Amino acid sequence: MSALDERMYQAYVSTHTGPADGSSTRFIYRRDIRPCLPAGAAGATVLDIGSGQGELVRLLSADGFAAEGVDVSAEQVALAHAAGLSQVRLGDFHARLGTADSAWDAVIATDVLEHLGADEILRTFDEVSRALRPGGVFIARVPNAVSPTGGHLMFGDITHRTWFTQRSVRQLAAAAGFATVRVFACPPPAHGLTSAVRAALWKPISGMLKLSLAAETGQLRGHIVTHNLTFTARREPVPQRSPGR
């Protein structure tokens, strides 16, 4: 960790994030994360790396998952513990991922990978791949470099190092041996009157942005123009043996 990162993370809540926003976290969890997790798998193990104040760990636990979080910010972990989330631990997520192979059904990283350089990002993909059980899923949200206004998000935090595109996500996942990858947009969530207006305005605006990209690139479909994008990368499941073999 650089001297800048160490200093910033010591007071990350005070200087940057502020208190956790439970309402928006709940919406993002229900819309973007929960549908990607094992269905009906009570007790499935989930590790949230860069878990911050533990909002996702709380939601995962309430849904019956055996959830754990790890974060390098002592300030954020202290707030998680004060809220009763003892399963959020202070530490380096690399060390936690390396404790056992094939230990987790899912690993989640929301707003984490952008804090890493390219070499460390590939290392993280490799570590997550090893840490997941066969068929397990890596779910992450990252800044989208294709977004015309994405610099507002990317450079709004001095600790950010890297942003992503659909192609770079697929490139990393392939290099780490993941079997299948899905990438999807993160449009503004509608969880109140103001946010509902934003979400309604975003639809025609995003359509124009996609049309511009289609005109420039010749690619008619599949453009993602939101500030963030979310991806899932799955490990190859264990092949099923045919009966009688």
Condensed to tens digits (0 to 9), the pLDDT of residues 173-189 reads: 999 999 999 999 999 87
- The per-residue pLDDT for range 45-91, each reduced to its tens digit, is 999 999 999 999 999 999 999 999 999 999 999 999 999 999 999 99
Distance CA 202, CA 195 (A): 10
CATH of 3-188+223-234, one of 3.40.710.10, 3.40.50.150, 3.10.129.10, 1.10.150.120: 3.40.50.150
Angle between the N-to-C axes of helices 3-10 and 74-82, in degrees from 0 to 180, rounded to the nearest 10 = 30
Would you give the DSSP letter of residue 189? P
Q: Quote the pLDDT of residue 10.
A: 78
Distance CA 103, CA 105 (A): 7
- The per-residue pLDDT for range 141-165, each reduced to its tens digit, is 999 999 988 898 899 989 999 999 9
For 165: left if phi > 0, alpha if psi spans -120 to 50, otherwise beta; the answer is beta
- For the residues 25-54, what does the mean pLDDT come to? 90
70 strand-pairing partners? 49, 89
Q: Is the pLDDT of residue 168 over 70?
A: yes
- Say if residues 91 and 69 touch (Cβ distance below 8 Å): no
- The per-residue pLDDT for range 96-135, each reduced to its tens digit, is 999 888 899 999 999 999 999 999 999 999 999 999 999 9
Q: In sequence order, what E strands does the chain have?
A: 45-49, 66-71, 88-90, 104-110, 132-143, 180-185, 228-234
Q: Is the pLDDT of residue 1 over 70?
A: yes
Q: Quote the pLDDT of residue 14.
A: 75
Could you tell me the residue ranges of all domains in the chain? 3-188+223-234
Phi, psi of 12 (to 5 degrees): -65, -35
Distance CA 226, CA 171 (A): 20
Q: Quote the pLDDT of residue 78.
A: 93
Helices (H) and strands (E) in the chain, counts: 10, 7
- The per-residue pLDDT for range 200-223, each reduced to its tens digit, is 888 898 999 889 989 988 888 889
Q: Is the pLDDT of residue 41 over 70?
A: no
How far is it between the farthest Cα atoms of the chain? 63
- The per-residue pLDDT for range 6-24, each reduced to its tens digit, is 787 877 777 777 666 667 7
- Say if residues 131 and 139 touch (Cβ distance below 8 Å): no
Mean pLDDT of the chain: 90
